Structure 1
Amino acid sequence: MPDRRRGARLPTLTLLAAALLLAACAPAAPTPTPTAALSGPTLEASPTFAPDSPADAPADLIYEGQNNPTAAALAPGAAMPPLVVSRSASGSAGQTVEITAEDGSLLFGDLYVNTTVLAPGVLLLAEERSAWGDFPALLHANGLTVLVMSVRPAAALADFRVMLQTLINGVADPARIGVVGAGQGADVALLGCAADLLCDAAALLSPSNTPSLVEAVRRFNPRPLFLTASQEDTEAFSAVQAAQAAATGEVLFQPFERAGSGTALLQNRPDLGNLILAWLQLALV
């Protein structure tokens, strides 16, 4: 009898043990996350919402760069149009512009644009762009678009290429481009024009007397050439005489006496400005 009872308990104990094991394997009930509550004071909602309207933008705001259709239409590697960085004083047609050189440097100049028509363009080059006085305004008042730049000796010819490209990119007529250089600017003007057919005419005020300039005249031929220097500036006077002898195209040689050098010729001989203007108007037809 005791053995029979022991045998009956074994299945019951087995089922109980299995139930306990299953209960132990069941996942524990998740612990509820406390509800988030603000720990500080809240801001009162704004009574109205007033977003900026497109009409609120200043009327004279200019968006340049990638929003400029002329710049967007340029071929890869082409020079960008000049970027206006400041307006000139009241009564002046010029404006300060910025162009990017081949080495990434920013070059500043003065731009006088003929806004009526796509006019002939003239690049003025000197050691300092301010040395031209009112000569750029004279050219502009007579229908020309003028870009006035300073010479950077370390990269003069590379800068020259960019200046010419900048001038023709929607600013001036690419088929009528002249360059006027004084002092170092005269050397750069001739050397640059000799290597670039975009340059249709060149005027040199007091160039230096170096053999490379005579060779440059031969490469520049037969395009029109304007030459001037004062006799007491013996180096420049010899240079223009040699250039005149090497030229095969139309040449206008205007000698002076006691008139200074470079851009000083324009101040000491006021008639020179009108003479160059008349020559440019004939050369850039």
Structure 2
Amino acid sequence: GLEPSPEDYGLVLNICTVMKMSMVTPLLNEMEERGIPKSLSVFDTLIKVCVADYDWESALDFVREMADNRIEYDHKVAQKLIYVFGVSKKLELALEVVAECVRVGQDTTAVYREAIRMCAKNKNSEEAVRLLHSAMGKNVQDLSLFGEAMHACIETQDWTTCLTLHQQVERIEDNLRSDNKSFEIPFSMRTYPLAVVAMSHLDMHVDAVALYKKMDTCKFIFTMKNGEVATTLITAIAIERALTSAMEIKDYQSARRIQERSMSILRDSNNPYKHHMDFMGGQRWSKTLKKVAHTKLPLDLPSLSP
């Protein structure tokens, strides 16, 4: 005799997530007959069911229905959807969610970041750069989005665009400096490793070694604030590419310094990356640095001054 609430339906629908969309339809019909509105938890579950069922079209229909009904369609829900579609290799659906966010004024920095990351995961640097420019056009002040887009370029081996983005960051920073705005770590430092990789692949070996040295002298390698695995792994790859470039131009003195740096990172017990060793990029990170450390250099090198 009691009138069931949307949450009651949400619970039953949640049980259905282990089942199929075919079981959900009768419940939805019943909700409609009784005039019970779909709440956020109902939509959340429906989208989960669709994803489990690989029913992408229905999932997107529910996304749009949520937005149309203004059901707390906020950036947090959107981020989750972008991630789900992105890892399911349905990037075009993730991008539709971004479009919905723009439409309802929920296109926050976090939404752009998640979407650009998913572009990298789906090896689509063109969309990543387009999203970056949309975000900058909305006056999003977060320069770290450039780093995310550069990652996407590295995934697709679009070295030229990667380098162009790095140069844009440097120009933005120069303007900030001339406006006397103080900012803690120049952001371009965080794009250095990505730029080193791009330069090396573009045969700009002298530039790659020079930028690596700049990155090394600012103790970048040890003081990265956000210990993200992607960033630490890209740092290791940058060290490896810097060594490759140094060998290309027969700059064996720099090559030896790069080797010594990679050995000291591997030895350093206070290294903030040590706890990344066992998961995700950890093994590849240490393997890359060990490869650098064990590269054979010509034997008759002059000894290095300290």
Same fold, TM exceeding 0.5?
Answer: no
Give the TM-score taking structure 1 as reference length: 0.31
Q: Answer with 1 or 2: which has the greater Rg.
A: 1
Give the TM-score taking structure 2 as reference length: 0.29
